[in-house]
Amino acid sequence: MIRKNVLEKIEKAGLLGRGGANFPVATKWRMVKDAEASRKFVVCNGSEGEPGIKKDEYILINYPHRLIEGMKIAIKFLGAERAYLYLNPSYYDKYVNILQKEIEDYPIIIFRKPHNAGYIGGEESTALNAIEGNKVEPKLRPPYPVEHGLWGYPTLVNNIETFYHVSLIMAGEYQNKRFFTINGDIIYTGVYEFSETETIENILKATKNYPKYPFFVQVGGDASGEVLNSEQLARPVGGAGSITVYSIQKHKPINLMRHWADFFARESCGQCTPCREGTSRLKQELDSKNPNWELISDILDNLSETSFCGLGGAVKLPFDSYMKNVLPLIK
C-alpha cells in the first residue's frame, strides 16, 4: 500500500528529475523497487558543481527538513539499507550540523565529496565511485545504478531538489514549480521559483532583471549552458536550472570562449583521450594569437561524438550556440 501511494502521487505530479536529465522520477523509483536484490541504497547528489547554479544550496539553507524528509520517504519505500547525502566540500562544511539534526536516527550518512573530485565528481557514477572509495572517475554504462549501483546493488540516485519536491508531493504541497538561479549583469540576482513552462523572457521581467541594454543569456549553467540572444527568449525555460545575463558590450567574445575552455580543460578528469586531449587543445587554440576556427569546430565535434562522459559531450553546446545566436549580432 505504501508503494502504491508513493508511486501514484509522484507519477500523478509528473515529477521529473531535477539533476539535469529530466528522467521521470516515478519510473526510476519503480525500477529500483522492482529490482531483485538483498540490499538497496539511496544516494542524494548534492555536488552542484555547474558554475552559476545555486538552487540546491538554496534548499539546504531554507528547507533542509524537506530534503531529509524526501530521503526518508525513499528509504522507507525501497526498504533501503541506508542512504548517502553526497555534498560538495563547501556545502558539507556549512550545513553538515544542520542536516545531521534533521536526520535523527535514520540510516543517512552525509558524505563529503573529495576535494580533488572537481566538476566531474557530480556525475552520478563518479559519485558512486567516490562513496565506494574507488578512483573518482565515471563508470562505464550500462549497467545503470538502478540495477548495479553502490557495491553492485540497485541504487536510487536523485539530486537535492528532486527529494525536496518528493517531500512536497507527499505532503500535498507540490505546485509543479522548480528553482532557477538568476545571475550575471543584473541587479536582483538570486534563486527564484517558477513553472518550467514559463518563458525565459517572462521570468527575467517578473524578477525585474530584464536588461535595457543589448544582452544575451546562457541557460543551464555558466559552463555547459546554451547561449541565446534577446530575441530567442519566448521559449519555455524548461529544466535549465539557471539563467545568466551577459551585457554584449561588457563581454568580449574571445574572452568568454577562453573562460569556457579554461573551465573544461581544468575540470576534465583525464580518463578518456578525446576529452583530455580535446579540451586541452581547445584551450591552447583559443589562447593563441590567431585561433584556427576550422580546427576549433573539428575539436568540438570530436568532443561531442567520442567523449566517455557528459563533461566532454557538453563542451560543444555553449560554443556552437554562442557563435550561431550571438556573434552575428555583434558589430
162 and 202, same domain (yes or no)? no
- H helices within the chain, ranges in order? 2-13, 25-34, 55-62, 64-78, 89-103, 124-132, 160-170, 200-206, 253-267, 273-287, 293-306, 310-314, 316-325
73 and 140, same domain (yes or no)? yes
pLDDT of 4 reads 62
20 and 147, same domain (yes or no)? yes
Domain count along the chain: 3
200 and 183, same domain (yes or no)? yes
123 pLDDT exceeds 80?
Answer: yes
282 and 165, same domain (yes or no)? no
Cell of 271: 580518463
24 and 57, same domain (yes or no)? yes
- Cα angle 273, 276, 280 (rounded to 5 degrees) comes to 130
233 and 258, same domain (yes or no)? no
Give the residue numbers spanning the domain of 90: 2-170
pLDDT of 221 reads 95
Q: If you count DSSP H runs as helices and E runs as strands, how many of each does the chain have, helices first?
A: 13, 9
Q: Mean of the pLDDT values across residues 8-13?
A: 96
- Cα angle 283, 288, 292 (rounded to 5 degrees) comes to 85
Predicted confidence band of residue 283 (pLDDT cuts 50, 70, 90): very high
119 and 186, same domain (yes or no)? no
- pTM (predicted TM-score): 0.94
66 and 208, same domain (yes or no)? no
SS3 115: helix
| Biggest alpha carbon–alpha carbon distance for the chain | 66
Q: Mean of the pLDDT values across residues 313-319?
A: 95
Least confident of 198-202, 227-231, 306-310: 306-310
**φ/ψ (deg, to 5) at 129:** -60, -40
Q: Is the Cβ–Cβ distance between 71 and 42 less than 8 Å?
A: yes
116 pLDDT exceeds 90?
Answer: no
In angstroms, the CA 5 to CA 277 distance is 50
Q: Mean of the pLDDT values across residues 40-63?
A: 96
Q: Assign residue 280 the CATH number of its domain.
A: 1.20.1440.230
Q: Choose one of 110, 145, 170: the last residue of a domain.
A: 170
Element (H, E) at 85: strand 82-87
125 pLDDT exceeds 80?
Answer: yes
In angstroms, the CA 285 to CA 105 distance is 54
**Summary mean pLDDT of the chain:** 94
90 pLDDT exceeds 90?
Answer: yes
Q: How far apart are the first and last CA of the chain?
A: 64
81 pLDDT exceeds 90?
Answer: yes
Q: Mean of the pLDDT values across residues 58-86?
A: 98
Q: Choose one of 145, 170, 195: the last residue of a domain.
A: 170
Q: Is the dihedral of CA 55, 56, 57, 60 positive or negative?
A: positive
Q: Is the Cβ–Cβ distance between 121 and 43 less than 8 Å?
A: no
88 and 216, same domain (yes or no)? no
What is the distance of C-alpha 319 from the center of its chain? 19
Contacts of 93 (CB under 8 A, 6+ apart): none
210 and 161, same domain (yes or no)? no
**φ/ψ (deg, to 5) at 95:** -125, 0
* Stronger pLDDT, 278 or 309, i.e. the higher one: 278
Q: Assign residue 122 the CATH number of its domain.
A: 3.40.50.11540
pLDDT digits (tens, 9 = 90+) for 210-249: 999 999 999 999 999 999 999 999 999 998 999 999 999 9
Q: Mean of the pLDDT values across residues 130-134?
A: 96
Q: Assign residue 233 the CATH number of its domain.
A: 3.10.20.600
- pLDDT over 90 percentage in the chain: 85
10 and 117, same domain (yes or no)? yes
Question: What one-character DSSP code corresponds to residue 184?
Answer: E
* Stronger pLDDT, 236 or 139, i.e. the higher one: 236
Cell of 224: 555547459
Q: Choose one of 247, 267, 296: the last residue of a domain.
A: 247
SS3 315: coil
* Stronger pLDDT, 323 or 118, i.e. the higher one: 323
Residue 207 identity = T
- pLDDT over 70 percentage in the chain: 98
Taking alpha carbons only, the member of 298, 304, 326, 328 closest to residue 316 is: 304
Least confident of 73-77, 135-139, 155-159: 135-139
Q: Is the dihedral of CA 236, 240, 243, 247 positive or negative?
A: negative
SS3 133: coil
- H helices within 210-314, ranges in order? 253-267, 273-287, 293-306, 310-314
